[in-house]
Amino acid sequence: MNKKGTGLIALAAAGSILLAACGDGNDTAEVSSLQLGTGSTGGTYYPLGTEMANVINNNVEGYDGFDLSAVSSGASVDNLSNIAQGEFELGMTVHLPALDALTGDGDFEGVEIDNFGFMGHIYPEVMQIVTTEDSGIESIADLEGMRVAIGPPGSGTQAAAKLILEAYGLEDGDYDAYEEGFGDAAGRIQDGNLDASFGLLGLPAGSIDELSISADIQMISLSDEGLGYIEENSGYEAFTIPADSYDFLEEDIQAITAYAVLVGSTDTIDEDLGYEITRALFDNAGSVSHAQGEHLTLENALNGSDGLPMHPGAERYFQEQGLLD
């Protein structure tokens, strides 16, 4: 198991449960100190997750003292690992690492995690690879020997970045890897201390827009051959970033995409609470002002669910909405 699966070796000694439910026969139960694992502060997960937590907090019914906090983390793999250990109740993740967690593959090699359930699609994630106009970098192959931010350990960004680099024959050691989120990487690019950065982000990404104001940047497009290798060796799909997504783009960019989804612990969130969290979020998703909040709709709710177990509470809600038989 590599370092991306932070804490996976401690799965057998799962952490303490943070939920406290009253058993006194009242109509309400006490639930406090829940945590929603998001991602790095400079990415999409953290600001979006913070808004999602606020919407859920404001609309959950029947639970006294309900308190859900969005916390910064290493994103996908880290969130799933923390759910497995009882440290997080909810987590945001790319759906592909979640599939790996079930089978003990990929970053979860040798460790199967099955105490989580799908609670809804959040938004489509698109890999965006940014460099400066004067870097001389025109292709992924040009990243050999360069200083490259590949995303934090345990993130979907890092897993996808390594796959993309592999598609062009680049392995660990062929480039100077910086394991950090796009927010930190953007500052390094602006200061000239980094040559390129990978970011599995929403489209458009505010952090890329902000970087484009202070630095002359460009986006690296994937080749047909590179895309073919990636699709053959993963569940990522080809995606075209339209030229009008950002002011600095002059042409469409070939990229890859996957789904960001919400998952919840089946150990610490029972069916009733899972139902109420799902209902609070999707019934009031219009209150999410983040740009990616527009994807939080019932029409999209089951995107990325194929192959994943459904949380019993979410399943009941989606059945009521006519999305499941």
At residue 215, the pLDDT reads 95
- Dump pLDDT digits (tens) for 78-117: 999 999 999 999 999 999 999 999 999 988 999 999 999 9
Domain ranges of the chain: 8-122+260-320, 125-258
CATH fold match for the domains 8-122+260-320 and 125-258 = yes
> Percentage of the chain with pLDDT > 70?
91
The confidence score (pLDDT) of residue 31 equals: 78
Sign of CA dihedral 1, 37, 268, 120: negative
CA 112 from chain centre, in angstroms, equals 19
CATH (residue range 125-258)? 3.40.190.10
Angle between helices 76-84 and 95-103 (to 10 degrees): 40
Q: Which CATH superfamily, name and number, covers 8-122+260-320? A: Periplasmic binding protein-like II (3.40.190.10)
pLDDT attached to residue 21: 41
Instruction: Let me know the angle formed at the C-alpha of 292 by 290 and 297, rounded to the nearest 5 degrees.
Output: 110
- Which run of H or of E encompasses 218? strand 217-219
Cβ-contact 98, 65 below 8 angstroms:
no
58-76 pLDDT tens trace: 999 999 999 999 999 999 9
For 64-131, the DSSP string reads ET--EEEE--S-HHHHHHHHHTTS-SEEEEEHHHHHHHHHT-GGGTT----SEEEEEEEEEEEEEEEE
Model pLDDT, residue 41:
86
- Say what the pLDDT of residue 9 is: 39
Taking 50 as the pLDDT cut, the residues of the chain under it are: 1-26
